[in-house]
Structure 1
Amino acid sequence: MNVASFLEKSARQWGENPAYIHGAEQRTYTEFLDRVLRVGGGLRALGLAPGDRVAFVLQNSPRILETIYACFAAGLVVVPVNARLHPREIAYIAENSGARVLVYDPDFAEGLAAHRDAFPGVEWWVGLAPAEGHLLFEDLATGIEKLSTVIDVAPTDPCWLFYTSGTTGRPKGATWSHRTATAVLMNYLADVHPIEPGEVVLHAAPMSHGSGIVAMPAIARGATNAIMPAGSFSPNALFAEIERLRVGHIAFVAPTQIIAMLDEFVPGSYDLSSLRAVLYGGAPIYVEQLKQAIETFGPVFVQIYGQGEAPITISWLSARQHAELLAAGDARVGSAGITRTDVEARIVDADDNLLPPGQVGEIVARGDMVMLGYWNNPEATAETMRGGWLHTGDIGMFDEKGYLFLLDRAKDVIISGGNNVYPREVEEVITQIPGVANCVVLGIPHDYWGEAVHAVVMPERGRTFTEREIIEHCAAHLAGYKKPKSVEFMDELPLSGYGKVQRRELREKYWEGSGRRIGGGVAAPAAG
Structure 2
Amino acid sequence: MPKVMNLGRLLTQAAERWPERAGLVQGERSWSWAELERRTNAMVAALRRRGIAPGDRVMIHARNGLVMFESLWVAFKLGAVWVPTNFRLTATEVAYLAEASGAKAMIYDRGFEDHADAARVAQRDLGLVLAIGTPRPGEAAYEALVAEPFEAAEAEPAEVDYDDTLWFFYTSGTTGRPKAAMLTHGQMAFVVTNHLADLMPGVDDSHASLVIAPLSHGAGIHALAQVARGAKSVLLSTERFDGAEAWELVERHRITNMFTVPSLLTMLVDHPAVDTVDHSSLRHVIYAGSPMYRVDQKRALEKLGPVIVQYYGLGEVTGNITVLAPTLHSLDDATSPAPIASCGVARTGTEIAILDIDGKRLPAGESGEICVRGPAVFKGYFNNPAANEKAFAHGWFHTGDLGFLDARGFLTITGRASDMYISGGSNVYPREIEEVLLAHPAVAEAAVVGLPHPKWGEAGIAVLVLRPGAAADAAEILAFLDGRIARYKRPARIVIWPELPKSGYGKVPKALVKQHLAERGEDQLA
After TM superposition, is the score higher than 0.5? yes
In structure 2, the gaps of 5 or more residues are none
The reply to whether residue 141 of structure 1 matches residue 146 of structure 2 is: yes
Q: In the superposition, relative to structure 1, how do residues 67 and 326 fare at CA in structure 2: closer, same or farther (>3 Å)?
A: farther
1:52 paired residue number:
56
Residues 444 and 510, structure 1, Cα contact 8 Å, conserved in 2: no
Q: Secondary structure at the match of 1:15?
A: coil
1:95 paired residue number:
99
Equivalents in 1 of 2:211, 2:358: separation in Å?
42
Question: Structure 1-normalised TM-score?
Answer: 0.93
Residues 471 and 485, structure 1, Cα contact 8 Å, conserved in 2: no
- Shift in Å, 1:114: 6.6
Equivalents in 1 of 2:409, 2:119: separation in Å?
50
Residues 338 and 410, structure 2, Cα contact 8 Å, conserved in 1: no
- Shift in Å, 1:447: 1.9
Equivalents in 1 of 2:368, 2:142: separation in Å?
48
2:268 paired residue number:
261
Q: 1:244 aligns with which of 249, 252, 260?
A: 252
Equivalents in 2 of 1:188, 1:434: separation in Å?
49
Worse-superposed segment, 435-444 or 86-95: 435-444
1:170 paired residue number:
177
The reply to whether residue 202 of structure 1 matches residue 210 of structure 2 is: yes
Q: Secondary structure at the match of 1:371?
A: coil
Q: Secondary structure at the match of 2:447?
A: strand
2:224 paired residue number:
216
Q: Secondary structure at the match of 2:220?
A: helix
Aligned-residue identity in percent: 38
Equivalents in 1 of 2:518, 2:340: separation in Å?
21
Q: Secondary structure at the match of 2:167?
A: strand
Q: 2:236 aligns with which of 205, 228, 239?
A: 228
Amino acid of the residue matched to residue 233 of structure 1?
F
1:12 paired residue number:
16
Amino acid of the residue matched to residue 304 of structure 1?
Y
Please give the residue correspondences for 1:52-71 in structure 2 after superposition, counting only pairs within 5 Å.
52-71=56-75
Q: Secondary structure at the match of 2:377?
A: coil
Amino acid of the residue matched to residue 485 of structure 1?
A
Amino acid of the residue matched to residue 39 of structure 2?
R
1:313-363 Cα offsets, whole Å, 9 max, x none, are 211111111147757246723211111011011111111110011111000
The reply to whether residue 121 of structure 1 matches residue 125 of structure 2 is: yes
1:525 paired residue number:
none
Equivalents in 2 of 1:170, 1:13: separation in Å?
43
Q: In the superposition, relative to structure 1, how do residues 339 and 324 fare at CA in structure 2: closer, same or farther (>3 Å)?
A: farther
Equivalents in 2 of 1:244, 1:341: separation in Å?
34
Please give the residue correspondences for 1:396-415 in structure 2 after superposition, counting only pairs within 5 Å.
396-415=403-422
Question: Structure 2-normalised TM-score?
Answer: 0.94
2:43 paired residue number:
39
Residues 247 and 273, structure 2, Cα contact 8 Å, conserved in 1: no
Q: Secondary structure at the match of 1:225?
A: strand
Equivalents in 2 of 1:439, 1:220: separation in Å?
47
Q: Secondary structure at the match of 1:332?
A: coil
Q: In the superposition, relative to structure 1, how do residues 325 and 90 fare at CA in structure 2: closer, same or farther (>3 Å)?
A: farther
2:511 paired residue number:
504
Amino acid of the residue matched to residue 400 of structure 1?
A
Q: Secondary structure at the match of 1:376?
A: coil
Equivalents in 2 of 1:235, 1:199: separation in Å?
21
Amino acid of the residue matched to residue 5 of structure 1?
R
- Shift in Å, 1:24: 2.4
Q: In the superposition, relative to structure 1, how do residues 368 and 329 fare at CA in structure 2: closer, same or farther (>3 Å)?
A: closer
Residues 247 and 274, structure 2, Cα contact 8 Å, conserved in 1: no
- Shift in Å, 1:267: 5.7
- Deviating above 6 A after TM superposition, structure 1's stretches of 4 or more consecutive aligned residues are none
Measured on the aligned residues, the alpha-carbon RMSD in Å equals 2.0
Q: Secondary structure at the match of 1:334?
A: coil
1:459 paired residue number:
466
- Shift in Å, 1:462: 2.3
The reply to whether residue 422 of structure 1 matches residue 429 of structure 2 is: yes
- Shift in Å, 1:121: 3.1
Q: 1:435 aligns with which of 442, 461, 471?
A: 442
Q: 2:294 aligns with which of 269, 287, 296?
A: 287
Equivalents in 1 of 2:31, 2:168: separation in Å?
27
Amino acid of the residue matched to residue 128 of structure 2?
W
2:482 paired residue number:
475
Please give the residue correspondences for 1:332-371 in structure 2 after superposition, counting only pairs within 5 Å.
332-371=339-378
Q: Secondary structure at the match of 1:100?
A: strand
Amino acid of the residue matched to residue 67 of structure 1?
S
- Shift in Å, 1:289: 1.2
Which of structures 1 and 2 has the larger relative contact order (alpha carbons within 8 angstroms, sep 6+)?
1
Worse-superposed segment, 200-209 or 18-27: 18-27
Worse-superposed segment, 159-168 or 116-125: 116-125
- Shift in Å, 1:312: 2.1
Equivalents in 2 of 1:187, 1:316: separation in Å?
11
Q: Secondary structure at the match of 2:112?
A: helix
Equivalents in 2 of 1:325, 1:336: separation in Å?
17
Residues 45 and 150, structure 2, Cα contact 8 Å, conserved in 1: yes
- Shift in Å, 1:510: 5.2
Amino acid of the residue matched to residue 27 of structure 1?
W
Equivalents in 1 of 2:52, 2:239: separation in Å?
33
Worse-superposed segment, 283-292 or 237-246: 283-292
Amino acid of the residue matched to residue 466 of structure 2?
P
1:378 paired residue number:
385
- Shift in Å, 1:379: 0.9
In structure 1, the gaps of 5 or more residues are 513-517, 521-528
Equivalents in 1 of 2:123, 2:334: separation in Å?
54
Please give the residue correspondences for 1:273-312 in structure 2 after superposition, counting only pairs within 5 Å.
273-312=280-319
